[in-house]
Amino acid sequence: MISRGVSIGLALVVAAGSVRGDDQPAQAAKVVLTVDGEVNHPLKLTVADLAKMPRHTVKAKDHKGTEAEFTGVALHDILKEAGVTTGEGLRGQKLALYLVVEASDGYRAVFSLPEIDPAFNDRTALLVDLRDGKALASSEGPLRIVVPGEKRHARWVRQVVTLRVGKA
Ligand SMILES: Nc1nc2c(c(=O)[nH]1)N[C@H]1C(S)=C(S)[C@@H](COP(=O)(O)O)O[C@H]1N2
Ligand SMILES: [Mo]
């Protein structure tokens, strides 16, 4: 189950991992993503949480034109887990909601909810953690946005730390 809010249990797991000098469980239990804003259930997700969610792999060309296989979780599935309305329910005032993807360097990019919703759109925007099966380099990871089919790479946000839902 994905932990909601701050978890004391999580802090204990991290502490136990570092005391043992055992980095593997500590890394898996580290919070890497915050989901907040106009959501019913704010989330603090660990690498292990993301690994348990439905995974997608897409082939796409990066900014340099190199084709790679990117694996991760659909933004839509993460927002659903946070209790954001999706699909048929996404109408009326809810169409004024938007997603801001925020990175550790302060870079931000906005997505409207319909453009990342499979009920509206076939392009599955992903929050990826693997490139050709390997963890992303720290210069772009641990988490990065991949938007298949997008002609420019400006919204392929590197080093994502927060997904924030706002209302226009
Ligand atoms: N965090 C963060 N992500 C970012 C940017 C940035 O400045 N900071 N630049 C964007 C732009 S404009 C492009 S073209 C691509 C470039 O991706 P690359 O650095 O992996 O080639 O990253 C995007 N993601
Ligand atoms: Mo760019």
User: Which residues are near ligand 1 (CB < 6 Å)?
Assistant: 62-64, 103, 105, 107, 140, 153-154, 156-159
Q: Is the pLDDT of residue 128 over 90?
A: yes
Which ligand ends up closest to the CA of 156? 1
Question: What does the block give as tokens for 54?
Answer: 């439905």
Q: Is the pLDDT of residue 1 over 80?
A: no
The per-residue pLDDT of the chain, averaged, comes to 90
In degrees rounded to 5, what are phi and psi of residue 133? 80, -5
Summarised one tens digit per residue, pLDDT across range 50-82 is 999 999 999 999 999 999 999 999 999 999 999
Summarised one tens digit per residue, pLDDT across range 9-43 is 444 444 444 444 556 777 889 999 999 999 999 99
Cα 155 to ligand 2 centre (Å): 8
100 bridge partner residues: 110, 164
At 91 the three-state DSSP class reads: coil
Scanning 21-118, the segments in alpha helix (DSSP H) are: 23-28, 47-52, 75-81
Please count the helices (runs of H) and the strands (runs of E) in the chain.
4, 10
Cα 29 to ligand 1 centre (Å): 27
Write the residue with the smallest CA distance to atom 12 of ligand 1.
154
How distant is the alpha carbon of residue 24 from its chain centre? 21
Residues with CB under 5 A from ligand 2 (ion): 154
